Amino acid sequence: MIKVAVMIGSTRPGRNGEAVAKWVYELALKRTDATYELVDLLDFNLPLLDEPYPPAMQKYTKQHTKDWSAKVASFDAFVFVTPEYNHGVPGALKNALDFLYKEWNNKAAAFVGYGNTGGARSVEHLRATMAELQIADVREQVALSLFTDFENYSIFKPASFHEKKVNLMLDQLVLWGTAMKQVRENLSNS
């Protein structure tokens, strides 16, 4: 079985992402096709990228980078739970992605976005970043609206049909994550 991170992509005080990610994580735990772990960027307290060498060199000088590297390297696939800030990716999530390179390579990703337009523009920006990090992203995604899936824009109450979307997304992610694990194994054996 592969190991999947459900990653909270916002560190903002009062964020909605924690409730969304916990909901995704609880749905994922009902499945038997992978192991799942909730990962909160807030727990890593990453500053703005402060490593002197390019991430592809893996010459990390800071303990926070080494800790982040070990955590990311331990997964085969990721569900990025992301808000949309100013039509884009939250700075904390982009910064966390930029800290590393090889730890992301040849893995799979899926997206749960939330915001005025379901986080769609944030997810589209993330898809471009995934390509550069050599992460295969799945088509199925979950788009949650601040208008219909949150009471008063802050209390998470997802529409029931979203559960089916989460499971379809996870179906695709597990298939791709499993395939990419084989790719990594083939590359390490060559």
How does pLDDT run across 63-80, given as a tens digit for each residue? 999 999 999 999 999 999
Q: How far is CA 152 from CA 17, 82, 144, 146, 148, in A?
A: 15, 19, 14, 8, 9
Contact criterion met (CB below 8 Å) for 106 and 184: yes
Residues forming beta bridges with residue 115, ordered by sequence position = 145
Output the DSSP codes for the chain.
Answer: -EEEEEEE----TT-SHHHHHHHHHHHHHT-SSEEEEEEEGGGG---S---SS-GGG----SHHHHHHHHHHHT-SEEEEEEE-BTTB--HHHHHHHHT-STTTTTEEEEEEEEETTTTHHHHHHHHHHHHHTTEEEEEEEEEEETTTSEETTTEE---THHHHHHHHHHHHHHHHHHHHHHHHHHHHH-
How does pLDDT run across 66-121, given as a tens digit for each residue? 999 999 999 999 999 999 999 999 999 999 999 999 999 999 999 999 999 999 99
| Burial group, residue 109, by CB count within 10 angstroms (0-12, 13-18, 19+) | buried
Taking the CA atoms of 186, 103, 41 and 116 in sequence, report the sign of the dihedral they define: negative
Please report, rounded to a whole number, the percentage of residues in the chain having pLDDT higher than 70.
Answer: 100
Mean pLDDT calculated for residue range 156-164? 97
| Burial group, residue 31, by CB count within 10 angstroms (0-12, 13-18, 19+) | middle
| Burial group, residue 127, by CB count within 10 angstroms (0-12, 13-18, 19+) | middle
Indicate the average pLDDT of the chain. 97
For residue 81 the two structure tokens come to: 């739970």
pLDDT at 28 over 90: yes
How does pLDDT run across 39-50, given as a tens digit for each residue? 999 999 999 999
Domains of the chain: 2-189 (3.40.50.360)
| 127 closest CA partner among 99, 97, 102, 171 | 97
Q: Give the pLDDT score at 190.
A: 81
Compute the chain's Rg from CA coordinates: 16
